[in-house]
Amino acid sequence: MAHDPIPADPSAQSAALMRAARLIPVLTITDLATAVPLAHALVAGGVRMLEVTLRTDCGADAAIAIKDEVPDAIVGFGTVLTRADLERAKKAGMRFAFSPGATTALLDAAAELGIPFVPGVQTASELMAAAERGFHTVKFFPAEPAGGIPALKALAGPFPHMRFCPTGGIAEDRIEAWLALPNVVAVGGSWLAPDAEVARGDWDAITARARRVMAKFGG
Tell me, what's the pLDDT at 119?
Answer: 97
5 pLDDT higher than 80: no
Q: Which of 51, 67, 126, 144 is catalytic?
A: 51
Task: Tell me the percentage of the chain whose pLDDT exceeds 70.
Answer: 96
Tell me, what's the pLDDT at 9?
Answer: 73
- State the distance between the two ends of the chain, measured CA to CA, in whole angstroms: 18
Q: How confident is the model at residue 8 (pLDDT cuts 50, 70, 90)?
A: low
Task: Read off the pLDDT of each residue in 176-188 and give the average, rounded to a whole number.
Answer: 96
Tell me, what's the pLDDT at 219?
Answer: 62
Superfamily the domain 10-211 falls into:
Aldolase class I (3.20.20.70)
SS (HEC) of the chain: CCCCCCCCCHHHHHHHHHHHHCEEEEECCCCHHHHHHHHHHHHHCCCCEEEEECCCCCHHHHHHHHHHHCCCCEEEEECCCCHHHHHHHHHHCCCCEECCCCCHHHHHHHHHHCCCEECEECCHHHHHHHHHCCCCEEEECCCCCCCHHHHHHHHHCCCCCCEEEEECCCCHHHHHHHHCCCCECCEEECCCCCHHHHHCCCHHHHHHHHHHHHHHHCC
Task: Read off the pLDDT of each residue in 19-40 and give the average, rounded to a whole number.
Answer: 97
188 pLDDT higher than 60: yes
* Domain range annotation of the chain: 10-211
Q: Which of 67, 126, 139, 144 is catalytic?
A: 139
Tell me, what's the pLDDT at 7?
Answer: 53
Instruction: Encode pLDDT of 76-119 as tens digits.
Output: 999 999 999 999 999 999 999 999 999 999 999 999 999 999 99
Residue 51 designated active-site: yes
Residue 139 designated active-site: yes
Arithmetic mean of pLDDT over the chain: 94
Tell me, what's the pLDDT at 30?
Answer: 97
State pTM to two decimals. Answer: 0.93
